[in-house]
Amino acid sequence: MLLAIVACFAFAIAAPALHRVLGRWTGKVLAIVPLALAIGFAFASGTMASVVEERRAWLPALDVAFAFRLDGLSRLFALLVTSVGAIVLVYGGGYLEGRAHVGRFYAFVLAFMASMLGVVLADDLLLLYAAWELTSVCSFLMIGFDHQKEEARYTARQALLVTVLGGLALLAGVLLLAQVSGTTRISELLARGDVVRSSPLYAPILALILLGALTKSAQAPFHFWLPAAMTAPTPVSAYLHAATMVKAGIFLLARLSPVLSGTAAFTIVVTAVGAATAVVGAVLSVVQTDLKRLLAYSTVSALGLMTLLIGIGSETSLFALALFVIAHALYKGALFLVAGMVDHETGARDVGALSGLRRAMPLTFAIAAAAGLSMAALPPTAGLVAKETLIEAVLHRPSIVVSVLAASVSFVVVAWLTAARPFLGAPRDTPRAPTEPSWAMTVGPALLSASSLAIGLAPEATIGALARAAASESAARAISTRPALFHGLGAPLAVTVVSALLGAAVARLHPRLVRLRARGGALAALGPTRGYALGLKALDRLAHVQTRVLQNGKLRAYLGVVIVSTVALAGVTVVRRLDLIEPHLGMVMPRVYEAGLALLVLFAAVVAVQARSRIASITALGVVGYSIALVFQLFGAPDLAMTQFTVETLTVILFVLALRRLPPLARRSLRGRRLRDFAIALPFGALMTVLVLASWHVQLDEPVSRRYLDAAVPEGHGRNVVNVILVDFRALDTLGEITVLAVAAVGAWALLAPTPRRARVSSARVSSARVSSARLSSERTA
C-alpha cells in the first residue's frame, strides 16, 4: 500500500513531462494507474471484508510508523477515490483540452489521489494527520488552478484557511487521543474505546477531532468554503468537492466511531450539526441558479445527512451511511461532470439560460437523467436504496425526519434543475452551438450513471458485501443487513413519495424563489462568509498594531521587553518556590581584597550610569569588566579571566569607535525615563543575584565536572580541562557557538553597510552647508 501511494506521487511528479510527450492521450494513459489500484483493492485480497495490514518503521523512538490497514471501510473509500480519480483524469483531458498548464492538472489530481489514499488507508494517527493536511494543500492548488483570476485565489485561500484550521485542531485532538489511549496505532486504539470515553480529556478530544472533521466536510457553520470553491475547474469540483475530499471528515468520524461514539455528547452534537447542515444546505440550494452552485449546496446538505447518520450510530444508520456514500459519489460525480459537459459545449451554466438540449446532446441527457433519478431517490437507482435505508434509520426521531425530509425535497428540486430542465423544453440560443462532447468526457459520467442504475437493480449483488464490511468496521460489530430497493409498504416509502411530490411542487416555484432571494440579499451579510472576511480583516489589523508596538526599531524597547519577560517568568517561579531557595541564601564573610573588588565594581557601575560624558561611561564600564575578570581569576578560572580581559578590551575599543563621531552628551534622557529604566534594571539585578546565590548550592545530580576531570588526561590528552571540554568533549556546542559568532559578525556588517551613493552625496552637501554656516556664525561672533 505504501508502494501504491508512492507510485501515485511519482506519477504526479512525472505528469507534466508526460503531458509534453503524450499530449491529448496523457489523461487516458495516466488513468491506468488508479484503475489498476482499484482492481487491486477490490479483488486482490479475497472478500470485501478481509483485512490487510502493512507496516514500515518511520519514527521508532516515538512509536510512529508507516502503518496501513485495508479493511471494509477503507476499501470502500479507496475504491471511490481510485475509480472516480481514473474517470476524472480521462474527463479532465477532454475538458481542459487547449488550455494552459494541463500537465499541472494531472499532477495535482494524482498527488491528491495519493494523499487521499493515505488518509483512508492509514493505520497510524499521525500518518493520517499528515495525509489529511496534504489533501488540504492539494485542494488549495487545484481550486486556484486558474490562478490568474482573483476570485480563484481568494476562494482557494479561504478553503485552505478553513480546512487547515480544522487540521490544527485535529492534530491537537489526535495527540491527546494518543496520550490517553497510549498508542498511535488506530487498530489498537479501536479496542480501547472505554479508556478514552471515561477519561477526563474526552470532551476536549471530541471537540478538537470534531472541529477537524466538520471543517473538512463543510458542516455548518463552516460550510461556506464549499460553494465558493466552485471557481475550480469542473473536473476538480467533481473529484474533490463531491466524491472524495469532503467525505474525508465523514470517513474520519466513521473510522473513530468505535472510540468516540456512544456518549451523549457525541450523539447530541454530531446529530444536531448534521441535521442543521442538512437543512441549511437544502434551503440555500433551492434558490441558486448556477448549475455548479446548485450541486455544491446540495452536497453540503448531503454531507449533513451523512454526519447525522454517524451521530445516530445505530447499525442501520451506519449501514445507510455506507450505501449513501456510494450512491452520492456516483450521482453527484456524474451530475457535476454533466454540468461540465453542458458548460463546455454551450458556454452557459445558468439554469435560466439552458433549455432543450436533449436534441443536440442525447447521450448527455441520458446520463443526466439516470443520475438525476438517483439523486431524487426514484426507482430503480442506488439513490433510492440508500434513501430508504436512511429513513429507516431515523424513524425513531421525528425531528430528524423533518430535516431529512427537507433535504430530500431539495434533492428532488436540484435534480430537476440540473438533470431535466436544461434538456427538456424548447431549444434556446446559447453562446456556443452545442454538440455531443468527446468520448473522453462522456465515458466517465456514463459509467457512473450506469453504476447507479446497476446498483439500483441489483443492490445486494453489487455493493452488498462492501457496504456490510464498511458498516461493520464503523460499528465495531458484524452487520448482516442486505440492501434492497423495496423496503415494503411503510414509513420509508411514504417519506420518499411525499418528498418527491413536494419536490415537484417546489421546483415549479423555483423562479419565484430566485426572485425572493434577490430581494433578501441583505441577509447574506449576516452569513458565515461575511464572518470569515471580517475575521481576516481583524487579524490583519491586529498584526499591524502588534508589529508597530513590539518591533518599533528602538533597541531600548527590545531590551526592555526581553528583560521584563525574563524577570516576570523567572521571578514568579522564584517567589513561588522561595522555600527551595531560602535555605541557601547565606553569605560567607568576604576577605579584604574580595570586599575591595566588590566595592570597586559598585563604584564603577554608579559612575557609568551617572557620568556626564560618553567616554567616562565607557571607561567606567571597562573598569566593571576588568573587575569581573579579576573575580574570575580570584576564584580559579584563568581561561575565563583571560577571555574576559580581552573581550572587555575589545568592547571598549568598539564602543569608542562607534561613539566617537557623536557629539558630547549634551542632553541626558528625561528623569521619568531614567526612573523607568531603573525600575526595569533593579529587579533584573536582584533576580540574577538570587539565582547565582541559589544555584551554587542546588545539586540536582552528580556534578558532571568530576567525570570530565577524570577523563581529561586519558581520553582528551590534555591537562586543561576547560579547553578539553570546549574542543573535545563538547565540541558540537562549540561548533554551534562559533557559527553564531560568525553570523553575528555578518549581521553587524549588514547593519554597518555603507549608505547608498545618493544619500552619501546629499549628506555631504548638508554637512558642508552646516560647516560653512558654522564658520560664518563663528566669524560673526569673533
Residues that bind another protein (CB under 8 A): 638-639, 642-643, 646-647, 649-650, 653-654, 657-658, 661, 715-720, 722-724, 726-728, 731-732, 734-735, 738-739, 741-742, 744-746, 748-749, 752, 754
Q: Phi and psi of 183, rounded to 5°?
A: -150, 150
CB-nearer residue toward another protein: 619 or 734? 734
Q: How far is the CB of 752 from another protein (least distance, A)?
A: 5
Q: Does residue 416 contact residue 372 with C-beta atoms inside 8 Å?
A: yes
CB-nearer residue toward another protein: 98 or 636? 636
**Which residues, listed in sequence order, are joined to residue 423 by a DSSP beta bridge?**
none
Q: How far is the CB of 765 from another protein (least distance, A)?
A: 14
List the alpha helices (DSSP H) in 183-290.
Answer: 186-189, 193-198, 202-216, 225-228, 234-238, 247-260, 264-285
How many Å separate Cα 170 from the centre of its chain?
9
Q: How far is the CB of 64 from another protein (least distance, A)?
A: 25
Question: DSSP state, 45?
Answer: T
Q: What's the per-residue H, E or C state across 57-96? A: EEEHHHCEEEEEEECHHHHHHHHHHHHHHHHHHHHHHHHC
Q: How far is the CB of 727 from another protein (least distance, A)?
A: 4
Q: Does residue 59 contact residue 125 with C-beta atoms inside 8 Å?
A: no
Q: Which of 386, 643, 584, 624 is nearest to 492 (CA)?
A: 386
CB-nearer residue toward another protein: 562 or 744? 744
Q: How far is the CB of 538 from another protein (least distance, A)?
A: 44
CB-nearer residue toward another protein: 543 or 658? 658
CB-nearer residue toward another protein: 457 or 615? 615
Q: Does residue 286 contact residue 513 with C-beta atoms inside 8 Å?
A: yes
Q: How far is the CB of 647 from another protein (least distance, A)?
A: 6
Q: Residue 664 and residue 658: Cα distance in Å, rounded?
A: 13
Q: Which residue is it, cell 473509500?
A: 77
CB-nearer residue toward another protein: 513 or 711? 711
Q: Does residue 111 contact residue 136 with C-beta atoms inside 8 Å?
A: no
Q: Does residue 224 contact residue 85 with C-beta atoms inside 8 Å?
A: no
Question: DSSP state, 528?
Answer: H
Q: How far is the CB of 750 from another protein (least distance, A)?
A: 10
* Contacts (Cβ under 8 Å, ≥6 apart) of 241: 226, 229, 230, 232, 296, 299
* Contacts (Cβ under 8 Å, ≥6 apart) of 188: 181
Q: Which contiguous run of DSSP H or E holds residue 102?
A: helix 102-121
CB-nearer residue toward another protein: 569 or 650? 650
Q: How far is the CB of 633 from another protein (least distance, A)?
A: 10
CB-nearer residue toward another protein: 582 or 639? 639
- Quick one: CA torsion of 28, 34, 37, 38, rounded to 10 degrees? -100
Q: How far is the CB of 615 from another protein (least distance, A)?
A: 14
CB-nearer residue toward another protein: 575 or 709? 709
CB-nearer residue toward another protein: 549 or 713? 713
Q: Residue 107 and residue 8: Cα distance in Å, rounded?
A: 9
CB-nearer residue toward another protein: 534 or 746? 746
CB-nearer residue toward another protein: 3 or 753? 753
CB-nearer residue toward another protein: 407 or 724? 724
Concatenated DSSP letters for 108-161?
HHHHHHHHHHHHHHB-BHHHHHHHHHHHHHHHHHHHTTSTTSHHHHHHHHHHHH
Q: How far is the CB of 719 from another protein (least distance, A)?
A: 5
CA distances from 581 to 203, 466, 573, 691 (A): 39, 67, 11, 9
Q: How far is the CB of 537 from another protein (least distance, A)?
A: 44
Q: Does residue 349 contact residue 339 with C-beta atoms inside 8 Å?
A: yes
Q: Which contiguous run of DSSP H or E holds residue 55?
A: strand 52-59
Q: Residue 416 and residue 373: Cα distance in Å, rounded?
A: 9
CB-nearer residue toward another protein: 151 or 733? 733
Q: How far is the CB of 738 from another protein (least distance, A)?
A: 4
Number of Cβ within 10 Å of residue 134's Cβ equals 18
Cα torsion 680, 682, 685, 689: sign? negative
Question: DSSP state, 591?
Answer: P
Q: How far is the CB of 541 from another protein (least distance, A)?
A: 39
Q: How far is the CB of 214 from another protein (least distance, A)?
A: 48
Q: How far is the CB of 733 from another protein (least distance, A)?
A: 10
CB-nearer residue toward another protein: 566 or 643? 643
